Homo-oligomer: A and B are copies of this chain.
Amino acid sequence: MARKIVVIGGGAAGMTAASTARENGAGDITLITEDEHVAYSPCAIPFVVEGKIKDFPSIVMHTPEFYRRERGIEVLVKTSVDRVDADAKKVITKDGRSFDYDSLIIATGGTVFVPPIEGRELKGVFPVRWISDGQAIMDWLPSTKQVVVAGAGVIGLEMAVALREKGKDVTVVEMFDQVVPRIMDKDMAHLVQAHCESHGIRFVLGSPCSRIEGEDRVTGVTAAKAHIPCQMVIMATGVRANLRIPEQMGLEIGPLGAVRVSPSLQPYRKGRLVPDVYLAGDVVMCQSAVLAGPTMSQLGSTAVRQGRVAGIRAAGGNATFPGTASPYVSVVGGLHVAGTGMSRSLAEYYGVRVAEAVVKGSSRARYYPDGKDMTVKLIADQESGRLIGGQIVGGEDVTGRVNWITAAILDGVSVNSFVERMENAYCPPTSMVSDTVNAAAEKLARVLRG
């Protein structure tokens, strides 16, 4: 009884779900997407703009034709879903076609949230989400000397560096009084900001863009009551879940503005699980592995992990998506910026009393040439001594280390246990004999002892 599957959405979550369903014995699989491309990583767009990656076609891993031929997945691009009839188990497209399903996967993703300010519709104002956005930014560049990036999250900073590399005069405007707000604490964020400033990027913090100026084309931005002239505005103001289809289906939306799901990635309607419907990616509200409360995890890696679970489930198999620590990494002008679990500021927002320790080390032994600074912050729950967060800013070899901290967080390891048990591999060209992560854990254990 191979199941007939419809997937709505062709991003990382949808494509992974479709491919995984295929590997797990699904029957017919139809994937419907509004985009003209599938299977690319929006995370790559800033690096194409910067010129690190050659062009946009190279970030598209596979074509619709590839999925049809190699994986037996029918991909309908530039196709909008009008509605889902969950009782009749049908998806109806805006062009009037109807697709029966045994299992439905909703991976409608998110859209850049553009705040409702004056001038947001002017020419020269761009979100960063689709390849078409990236291409539009590239096309607009020649007529631009000054750029304002609205939002100092990692995408905003990556875009700021990219445009600076292109010789533009770049100002980043951020509502919060720090870069990488919420997920990185101010002390660590300051290292990132200083690095960007050394690349010639200016910051206006603690104040949003209140107005975009211009007649037809953008000519400037107002922020912190000052006028910043510019010919381009990049909107890196966060992503909101695309809820049209879930709302039309009557699915329960969680307090963070995305669809509430069970560990099986099924949605709820009137308090009950909706059978044969699974969600994955930016449209989903996750459970925090640290707090067991709701959290958002709008990351490509999370989309893939959820897509895998949704695909297995949709095909009739068994898998679950448990709580998330949402590890992330970004490369901002050569600086690796990463974090996992809770930041101090977020933990305190949620009412958790925390202890923290910061250690500055190096990616190599002190005497080994070309070692890069590596600053590690670890955060513990004050009461239980459990490790709940980590942040790393460094010049190399950061990704594996943040995954390492993530493993400890997900396993509920206490700081004392980390100190006692967590061994590190050592070689002068790749680490200090006691890794900076271990040194941070030791310092945090001392802080917890008081």
A211 within 8 A of B: no
Chain B proximity of A291: nearest CB distance (Å)? 16
Q: Which of A198-206, A251-259, A266-274, A402-410 contacts B (4 or more CB under 8 A)?
A: A402-410
CB distance from A337 to the nearest CB of B (A): 9
Chain B residues lying within 8 Å of A431, measured Cβ to Cβ, are: 329, 399
Residue of B nearest to A427 (CB): B329
**Chain A 318-343: CB-based contact to B (< 8 A → 1; otherwise 0):** 01111011111111000010101000
CB distance from A51 to the nearest CB of B (A): 10
Could you give, for residues 45-60 of chain A, a 1 whenever the CB lies within 8 Å of some chain B CB and a 0 otherwise?
A: 0010000111000110
Pairwise interchain contact A423-B302, C-beta atoms closer than 8 A = yes
Nearest B residue (CB) for A309: B420
Distance, CA A10 to CA B437, complexed state (A) = 25
Q: A52-B369, A403-B400 are in contact. Are A300 and B433 (CB under 8 A)?
A: yes
Please indicate the chain B residues that have their CB under 8 angstroms from the CB of A331 in the complex.
427, 429-430
Instruction: Determine whether A145 belongs to the interface, using a CB cutoff of 8 Å to chain B.
Output: no
Chain A 24-59 interface mask (CB, 8 Å, partner B; 1/0): 000000000000000001011001000011100011
Q: Please give the count of copies of this chain that the complex contains.
A: 2
Contacts of A240 in B (CB 8 A): none
Complex CA distance for A433 and B304, rounded to whole angstroms: 7
State whether A430 and B369 are in contact (beta carbons under 8 Å apart), knowing that A421-B322, A424-B403 are contacts in the complex.
Answer: no
By a CB distance below 8 angstroms, the chain B residues around A301 are: 423-426, 433-434
A100 within 8 A of B: no
Residues of B within 8 Å of A12, CB to CB, are: 433
Please measure, in the bound complex, the distance between the C-alpha atom of A403 and the C-alpha atom of B428, giving whole angstroms. 15
Q: Shortest distance in angstroms between A207's beta carbon and chain B's nearest beta carbon?
A: 28
List chain B residues, Cβ under 8 A from A59: 365, 367, 428
Name the B residues within 8 Å of A326 (CB-CB): 423
| Residues of B contacting A433 in the complex (Cβ-Cβ under 8 angstroms) | 12, 41, 300-301, 304
Chain A, range 122-141, C-beta contacts under 8 Å to B:
none
Q: A401 contacts the other chain (Cβ, under 8 Å)? A: yes
Nearest chain B CB to A54's CB is how many angstroms away? 8
Number of interface residues of A (CB under 8 A): 68
Bound CA span A111–B435, Å:
26
Cα–Cα, bound, A177→B423 (Å): 30
Residue among B322, B367, B403 making CB contact with A58, cutoff 8 Å:
B367
A350 CB–B CB distance under 8 Å: no
Give the residues in chain B near A85, CB-CB below 8 Å: none
Q: Is the CB of B400 within 8 A of A411?
A: no
Decide: A41 near B365, CB < 8 A? Known: A301-B433, A338-B425. yes
A329/B430 contact (C-beta < 8 A), A366-B61, A400-B400 known: yes
Chain B neighbourhood of A330, CB < 8 A? 427
Q: Assess whether A398 is interfacial by the CB under 8 Å rule.
A: yes
Considering the chains assembled together, what is the distance between the CA atoms of A408 and B411 in angstroms?
8
Partner of A47, one of B320, B324, B368, B406: B368
Q: Which residue of B lies closest to A446 (CB)?
A: B23
Interface string of A3-25 (1 = CB under 8 A from B): 00000000010000000000000
Residues of B within 8 A of A58 (CB): 367
Q: Is A346 an interface residue (CB 8 A)?
A: no
Asked if A425 contacts B328 (CB within 8 A), the reply is yes
A372 within 8 A of B: no
A396 surroundings in chain B (CB, below 8 A): 396-397
Interface string of A410-450 (1 = CB under 8 A from B): 11010000001111111111110111010000000000000
- Please list 10 pairs of residues, one from A and one from B, whose beta carbons are closer than 8 Å in the complex, sorted by A's number: A47-B429, A54-B369, A59-B428, A61-B367, A301-B423, A326-B423, A327-B425, A328-B427, A340-B425, A403-B424
Interfacial residues, chain A to chain B (CB-CB below 8 A): 12, 41, 43-44, 47, 52-54, 58-59, 61, 299-302, 304-305, 319-322, 324-331, 336, 338, 340, 365-369, 396-404, 406-408, 410-411, 413, 420-431, 433-435, 437
Report, nearest first, the 3 A-B pairs whose CB atoms are least far apart.
A400-B400, A400-B401, A301-B426
